Amino acid sequence: MVKSIMVQGTASDAGKSILVAGLCRIFSQDGLSCVPFKSQNMALNSYITLTGHEMGRAQVFQSEAAGKEPDVRMNPVLLKPTSDRKSQVIFNGKVLANMDAVEYHEFKPTLSHKISELYQELGAENDVIVLEGAGSPAEINLNSRDIANMGMAKIADAPVVLVADIDRGGVFASIYGTIELLEPEERARVKGVIINKFRGDKALLESGLEMIENLTNVPVLGVVPYGDFKIEDEDSVALKNVNRYYDSSKPLDIVVVSLSKMSNFTDFNSLELEPDVSVRYVFPGDSIGNPDVVLIPGSKNTLEDSIFLQESGLGKEVQKLREMGTYIFGICGGFQLLGETLLDPNQVESTTGSVKGLGLLPVETTMQETKVTAQVKGSVGELSVTGYEIHMGETILKEGCQPFSRITTENNQPVDRLDGAVSEDEKVYGTYLHGIFDGSEFRRDFLNKVRLDKGLEPLNQVTQEYSEFKAEQYDKLADILRENLDMEKIYEIINQSEEDSNGSLH
């Protein structure tokens, strides 16, 4: 029987992903082979594994915390919204179809057995699995076909810890209401409660903790405060806080244009490691101002975001900044948006057929029906770079630009092809490589070009590798959880569950 524990939340953004990462780090520190698992994830932030499979980035940072290579089995189902009504359904790393909510709800039961097989495979290879739920287990209108919360807990026969966000208010009502809405057999799986994102004096909570324990007959395993660490956010719900680290006193001002279907904004997290850089995001209605660099992120629907840039006025601002000599850098969908035209003859993303891009690079993109998913290695000039590609389009370069990089390895196989484009004056860059800024040498080299253009001396030191920085953050998170959670009780819950499953207590 697989040893496991499942973290579910009273609502979205309760902090499940971060807590799963922290528990994975603790179990790894304690000598256990541990992996995360989320049966169904809805996110525009995704990642490509070494085998060329696509999975949600939350399970990527959780696997990093566990000291494991990301494995697509950790996230069997990934839903990537393509519009307000439809999502691209990805199973075991490959695209199945585009479905609306009703179609997917009807389809879910066919996935249960396959999800169980993948879960059991991971269980046979590891000591413990930390599962993450999605949204809330009390979505009573959806629970009959649930594969993400209590439905997954049943498949895994996993004990559940319920996480509640105290920062949004009503924490005791959310805990009590969630537990009361569960079916009796589901309620029996809830072995503990964690109160998350606490600010203030814990002593003021004590009476409430005692009362909620008496009302639910479920122990409170700890109260976790806001911590001083930087770990990746999942996309949609995190955007309200993306500017929290901005520091206007730093010499390089970098702006990310927030697209309506923005994906993989985590491409820019590593820039915040640099001592001379501060990153801010601009939304419709915001002024871009006069930054040193404008970054155009990936998009799940590039044609729709091209129209968004036109209608919001952000596109015109970017074009004006280009005329002023500002550096413009687009990644994946952002690269496509920098071109002259986006064609969609097979209606992969839209019914419009074609739209105009920003016209900042002499390139043209045609949407393809097959998605490219690859981990790659290559070079930009004499600098080695690594990254991963996730895109539906093929881009052709015209006269007036040169390739950005040469790709030499794709999914561990040797290749020789070109990627991206750079304008003749080397002020506009486009690439399909997600994670291009995670490599410290390329990141510093590009920023030094910006510094020199601004009349500043280059910084010669290479800053900390992003992977090392992330490892430090996972350790900080683990320290906070050890200090504030009853880890002895959590281990007891895991071990008790295995004993129950083996029948030794019956």
Nearest C-alpha neighbor of 5 from the set 502, 503, 480, 489: 489
Asked about 53 being catalytic, the answer comes back as no
Asked about 401 being catalytic, the answer comes back as no
Q: How far is residue 70's CA from residue 49's CA, in Å, rounded to a whole number? A: 6
Contact present, 269 and 232 (Cβ < 8 Å): yes
CA distances (Å), origin 66, targets 32, 186, 232: 9, 28, 15
Paired residues of 364 in beta bridges: 341, 396
- Beta-strand runs (E) in 206-309: 220-225, 252-257, 262-263, 277-282, 293-296, 298-299
Helices 57-65 and 466-484: crossing angle in degrees, nearest 10, is 80
432: which DSSP letter? S
- Tell me the two tokens of residue 137: 């287990």
Locus of tokens 């040797």: 414
Q: How far is residue 223's CA from residue 209's CA, in Å, rounded to a whole number? A: 10
CA distances (Å), origin 449, targets 41, 179, 326, 345, 460: 39, 56, 12, 39, 12
Check the CA dihedral 7-8-10-14 and report its sign.
positive
Q: How far is residue 280's CA from residue 241's CA, in Å, rounded to a whole number? A: 10
Considering the candidates 24, 34, 332, 401, report the single residue annotated as catalytic.
332
- Tell me the two tokens of residue 491: 């281990």
CA-CA-CA-CA dihedral for 63, 66, 68, 71, to nearest 10? -30
Q: In degrees, to the nearest 5, what angle opens at C-alpha 228 toward C-alphas 260 and 172?
A: 80
Nearest C-alpha neighbor of 14 from the set 116, 208, 163, 139: 163
Q: Which residues form the catalytic set?
A: 332, 434
